[in-house]
Structure 1
Amino acid sequence: METTKTHTHDCTNNDGHNHSHEHGHGKSPVILFFIGLVLFIAAFFMQEQSFLQNISFLTAMLLSGYHIILEGIVDTVNESEKQKKFIPNVHILMTLAAFGAAIIGKYEEGALLIIIFAAAHFLEEYAEGRSKREITNLLKMNPTEARLIQPNGIVKIVDVSDLKIGDKLQVLNGDQIATDGVILSGNTSIDESSINGESIPREKTVGDEVFGSTINGNGTFTMEVTKDSSETVFAKILQLVNQSQSNLSKTATKIQKLEPRYVTIVLIVVPLFIALGPVVFNWTWDESFYRGMVFLISASPCALAASAVPATLSAISNLAKRGVLFKGGSYLANLAAIKAVAFDKTGTLTKGKPVVTDFYFILNSGKQTEQQYIDIVVAMEKTANHPLANAILEKFTATEILNLSVDNKIGTGLVTNYKNDTYQIGKPEIFSSVTSQVNAHKEIYAKEGKTVVYFVKNNEVVGVIAMMDVPNENAKPVISYLKSQGIHTTMITGDAELTGRAVGDQIGIDEVAGNVLPENKAAIVKDQQERYGSVAMLGDGVNDAPALVTADIGVAMGDGTDIAIDVADAVLMQNDLTKFSYAHKISKRLDRVVWQNIIFSMFIVVMLITLNILGKMDITIGVIAHEGSTLLVILNGLRLLIPSKE
């Protein structure tokens, strides 16, 4: 095929600027900060209290605190105009405190306050950026170009946004797949780690689905586009990522709402504190104003404001790195409070496909061996195309390859003739006459919740094969963990109660709800909520959608399917149940860290205010203690980036 490349120039502004208050300062404030810091240090080598030294401290304060002062004044004015009421932020407190210190001749302290506050502010930005990195790296992986096969056979490189459903694309070795589709010709292996976190490439051939953003291996193939670029699995992951960064926990949201009220109270109390100082504490006016500035610094909620957001983003990042995506901090924070978990059975607690667990053949006086029967079974099942046939073929290996003509008849199962004998494989209901020996085995297997098929020779049952959808190897340890946390566990299944109970007993689940239609799963979740409180639901995200939406936290299993991402609050990108218990551990850690931060930050505020009233603290100690507590709170939140024991 001939390839042409078209060059288009997009003149729209795509620089990604966001003028909302998100503290994206760029390089200039950082450069000014370091210039101010150098000037601040240089001032200590000048004559004490000289005009030059004071000017140097004042200039250092203005340069290092340029963005602090700007945000303090401009953001307060803008937000107040927007909401039609006074909405101050913590930066205005720091600005007023720094200028207040300068007014009373404490230029050094004013500069120190702004420099440490600005440094803490930059560290918080770094902390948030570091926390977001794992999930925002996905944004860089969004494909931009595709090789479109035109009707004349010429390949043209076009923007992904120009693709339409039904377009044919060429994918070369090493290419990033542009969008979701299906392979028309060729075969390859594809790295799908961007979608499901799985490091091992998946083999793909004609008819298989491929996903946008994944990386093609050594093969070359053509594909048909099946989804608009805005509706691909990867596009939905990006939507989820953006949600996770803007949706904060209830605690973080409350702190953000509390900040302007808190700052307003401080701005009212400080003038009263200064005015009452000479009356209540017999201070001079100079001392009262000085103590007022220390009060302003001490009461500032800097550490409180940083208590939840860096910690929450760190926790989300920790989980994203391990293939667990939450749509927001509120869902992750709420996970710690769940009292019950409901699981879909098939594909969640089980592997989702049957396997042969038991078999029994009746051998007549050595005329026919077990292996000869197996050879016939394999030859018959090779002609069938259903999950039970696949299970039998995975279990049994033929030593002699037989080419048999097999009929698949409704009501009689598989039928063939071999060496003048008629053989059948079918459900037990088809056969009315069985020996007590066969019936005994069938009853044992049925009580264990297994599906049974008979192998029949000349209308005589000579074999019993039992199959079941066996438990996921991770199900038992996860259920055990949840029970250790006092969390009730329920399995919801459309299978018979007996089949469900057999799986439930193996993994130690508390309750089994059998014979449940998909539309009734949500009702069971509601009942669990009434009985236990907050309930999480784990399912495959398709027929479990109503239950996932009804649950307090819906968690979708299933290799990152777009339906799962749509309906659930969280997605396990790999079908790995242990990631759910890991997420619960991280949620509990997040809750502990946030409360540690809140209690510590408020303790520091109360201690500094008390020491200030007692006259036991100066402005320098206040600045260092207050801003030091902010740094500690941020660093404590960053601990959530460290993996927990899985």
Structure 2
Amino acid sequence: MNMDKTYRTAEHESDDYQSNTHEHAGHLPGEIPMYFIGVVAYLLALFGPFSTLVSNFLFGVAVVLAGFHVIIEGIVETITDTKEKNKFHPNVHLLMTLAVLGAMAIGSFDESALLILIFAGAHFLEEFAEGKSQKEITNLLQMNPTQARLLQSDGSTKMVNVQEVNVGDQLKVLPGDQIATDGFIIKGHTTIDESSINGESMPKEKLEEEEVFASTINGQGTFVMQVTKDSSETVFADILRLVEQSRNNLPKAATKIKKIEPIYVKSVLFIVPVFVLIMPVLFNWSWEMSIYRGIVLLITASPCALAVSAVPATLSAISNLAKKGILFKGGAYLANLSSIKAVAFDKTGTLTKGKPVVTDSFYKDKAKQIKWQQIIATMEESANHPLATAILEEYGELQSLEMDVTNEIGQGIVAEYEGKHYRIGKPSLFDNVSDDIQAKTKEFASAGKTVIYFSEDEEAVALIALMDKADEKAAEAIAYLKKQQVNTLMITGDAKTTGEAVAHALGIDDVYSNVLPENKAEAITSLQNKYGKTAMIGDGINDAPALVKADIGFAMGDGTDVAIDVADAVIMQNDLLKFEYAYKLSKKLDKIIWQNIIFAMGVVLLLSVLNIVGKMDIGLGVLAHEGSTLLVLFNGLRLLFPLKKKAPENV
């Protein structure tokens, strides 16, 4: 799979976000020790038996030591960003720096120190809280295999770096080992924990010739595998690229907040001086009171909580989904999922199990039924058509017979047994068909089933009906979407009767049948015009154009590389309940982001009003302001926790 699609605009916005928001990427040398020395200086000034001059000096020391990183980021980054963008580009830290200097200028040394202590302390807590939202992603990165047991020509093994393993090499895997790269078992059998790939907690049994994947954990068996992919091309490596990519593609809410942040800060820097100048005229305040209230306004109007309203919540949701085996190529796609109006599904392998089964059979002579079934099973053992496996699963336990079987291209399978001639094939190959078999054929075909005949001496004496059965999990997911007023549709190349039969079994609203691969994208356009924002879920090469055309394209993880490459999200297991889970989490993400935005701006408005009416001071303003920022962060971090299995529909 090639999942190195880039989103340059989103990446640019993300880089901008990381360099300029209230949070910063790393710590300056000695930053945290300096902060605690500043705390000690503040406590000595507050409670020590010192003169006012000494106390104010200690308060000043506290400001410099505890707020060093805030002041540096406020001044230096504003200058740097202004030069890069050729226009004034302030940040939130500049507001805090000016507020601290202003408080000291009017003699409020104790309050200026309190301001910087609480702001800087909350700053560290915010970084810690946001780090929590990326913990699962970090854990995922740490799961990348580093070593492998390379099998030598003499049968011994050698521990090598996984980068030294080449396609075609043979590796020995012992109980409890992490599988180093993708391949298939050539000797032995075991059970493997594949939760790092598909989010499923139940181990899967693996036999010879079956695929195994990098990063998964071997159970109690020992086996030898042959390498089929370089370590940089494994499924797990693709997952890591997807997750990393998702961190760089921010939702619209986050990018809009980032874009308006410098405008907001500039507005505050304009309003505060105007506020200081007009309040003595309007309310007859003293200049000292007006300046003090202006500094309080500078603090309370800072958009810290607004700046962290969207990104921590989005990263938390992405890491939650990654644990479930649902990978988004960007937070923007996850955020948009909640607003879809229609979902289009491919049929085979998405809504159905992708594996036909025998659903019905009819035999003209019940006395010969067992014998005919033995003949059918023996003939199908040499067949190469996809329905043979289903028939053998139905009759394969019957004893095989000794007979000559021939596959005749275009004529089905023929055989001779005990002097009689037998044939298995599609109905159009048979001329001698009784009315009862024709009636059964019509009945089964109208239900979307595939019918094949079995003849003895060119007379059709039995028929078998097969169907790719609908997936029960798909039915549950579709029922949920319908309750959310999301339209559900199937786009399939199958005949109308086949498509409608599956749609009816699953409760799908509408079916687009007989759709050629090149026309699937046109079908998506039609749905977008009719309903609005549309998601597409598919797994085949023929789904790729539709996945690209859809507002959000989902590829099923068992599908083709092309479908996975062009999709906006990947469900690592063919399980539509995972799509339901992603939709629920997207709805919750949307709700939490708006909660955060409304709460953040509500707090700014409330504190500003209280400041005007004289019910706010610097200390209380700092506590309320930074407290609201932390509440917004922790509200977003709720998305780290799994949703309940039967989560409320209106999450």
In 2: Cα distance, 1:347 partner to 1:216 partner: 27
Shift of 1:446: 0.3
Deviates more, 1:99-108 or 1:305-314: 99-108
Q: Say if 1:564 and 1:571, in contact at 8 Å, map to a contact too.
A: no
Which residue of 2 is the match for residue 382 of structure 1? 381
After superposition, residues 523-562 of structure 1 pair within 5 angstroms as 523-540=522-539, 542-559=541-558, 562=561
| 1:81 pairs with one of 80, 83, 100 | 83
Partner letter of residue 350 of structure 1? T
Q: Say if 1:560 and 1:571, in contact at 8 Å, map to a contact too.
A: no
Deviates more, 1:600-609 or 1:438-447: 600-609
Which residue of 2 is the match for residue 235 of structure 1? 237
Which residue of 2 is the match for residue 429 of structure 1? 428
SS in 2 for 1:261: helix
Partner letter of residue 623 of structure 1? V
Per-residue CA deviation, residues 551-570 of structure 1 (Å, 9 max, x unaligned), is 11011112486544421111
TM-score by length of 1: 0.90
Per-residue CA deviation, residues 272-308 of structure 1 (Å, 9 max, x unaligned), is 3223333333222222221111010011111111111
| 2:136 pairs with one of 123, 134, 137 | 134
After superposition, residues 166-565 of structure 1 pair within 5 angstroms as 166-363=168-365, 366=367, 368=368, 370-396=369-395, 398-540=397-539, 542-559=541-558, 562-565=561-564
Partner letter of residue 317 of structure 2? A
In 1: Cα distance, 2:98 partner to 2:629 partner: 19
Per-residue CA deviation, residues 561-590 of structure 1 (Å, 9 max, x unaligned), is 654442111111121101112211211111
Partner letter of residue 314 of structure 1? S
Q: Say if 1:39 and 1:56, in contact at 8 Å, map to a contact too.
A: yes
**Paired-residue identity, %:** 59
Shift of 1:538: 0.3
Which residue of 1 is the match for residue 99 of structure 2? 97
The structure-2 alpha-carbon separation of the partners of 1:376 and 1:456, relative to structure 1 and needing over 3 Å to count, comes to: same
Q: Say if 2:213 and 2:236, in contact at 8 Å, map to a contact too.
A: yes
Partner letter of residue 298 of structure 2? L
Per-residue CA deviation, residues 389-425 of structure 1 (Å, 9 max, x unaligned), is 1111222354544344322222332223333333322
Shift of 1:327: 1.4
In 2: Cα distance, 1:255 partner to 1:192 partner: 39
Deviates more, 1:420-429 or 1:338-347: 420-429
The structure-2 alpha-carbon separation of the partners of 1:297 and 1:482, relative to structure 1 and needing over 3 Å to count, comes to: same
Q: Say if 2:488 and 2:510, in contact at 8 Å, map to a contact too.
A: yes
Q: Say if 2:539 and 2:559, in contact at 8 Å, map to a contact too.
A: no
Q: Say if 2:422 and 2:457, in contact at 8 Å, map to a contact too.
A: yes
Per-residue CA deviation, residues 286-334 of structure 1 (Å, 9 max, x unaligned), is 2222111101001111111111111111222222222211111110111
Partner letter of residue 640 of structure 1? L
TM-score by length of 2: 0.90
The structure-2 alpha-carbon separation of the partners of 1:562 and 1:63, relative to structure 1 and needing over 3 Å to count, comes to: farther
Listed as ranges, the gaps of 5+ residues in structure 1 are 1-18
Shift of 1:462: 2.2
In 2: Cα distance, 1:418 partner to 1:225 partner: 45
In 1: Cα distance, 2:552 partner to 2:273 partner: 47
Which residue of 1 is the match for residue 13 of structure 2? none
Shift of 1:23: 2.3
SS in 2 for 1:543: helix
| 2:57 pairs with one of 55, 58, 65 | 55
Per-residue CA deviation, residues 415-455 of structure 1 (Å, 9 max, x unaligned), is 23333333322211111111111111111000000001112
Q: Say if 1:181 and 1:227, in contact at 8 Å, map to a contact too.
A: yes
The structure-2 alpha-carbon separation of the partners of 1:287 and 1:419, relative to structure 1 and needing over 3 Å to count, comes to: same
Q: Say if 1:497 and 1:514, in contact at 8 Å, map to a contact too.
A: yes
Q: List 4+ stretches of structure 1 deviating above 6 A.
A: 150-154
Deviates more, 1:381-390 or 1:504-513: 381-390
Which residue of 2 is the match for residue 121 of structure 1? 123
Which residue of 2 is the match for residue 144 of structure 1? 146
Partner letter of residue 578 of structure 1? L
Deviates more, 1:148-157 or 1:277-286: 148-157
Shift of 1:173: 4.2
In 1: Cα distance, 2:306 partner to 2:575 partner: 36
SS in 2 for 1:348: coil
SS in 2 for 1:456: strand
SS in 1 for 2:121: helix
Deviates more, 1:189-198 or 1:29-38: 29-38
The structure-2 alpha-carbon separation of the partners of 1:573 and 1:28, relative to structure 1 and needing over 3 Å to count, comes to: farther
Which residue of 2 is the match for residue 36 of structure 1? 38
Which residue of 2 is the match for residue 106 of structure 1? 108
Q: Say if 1:109 and 1:620, in contact at 8 Å, map to a contact too.
A: yes
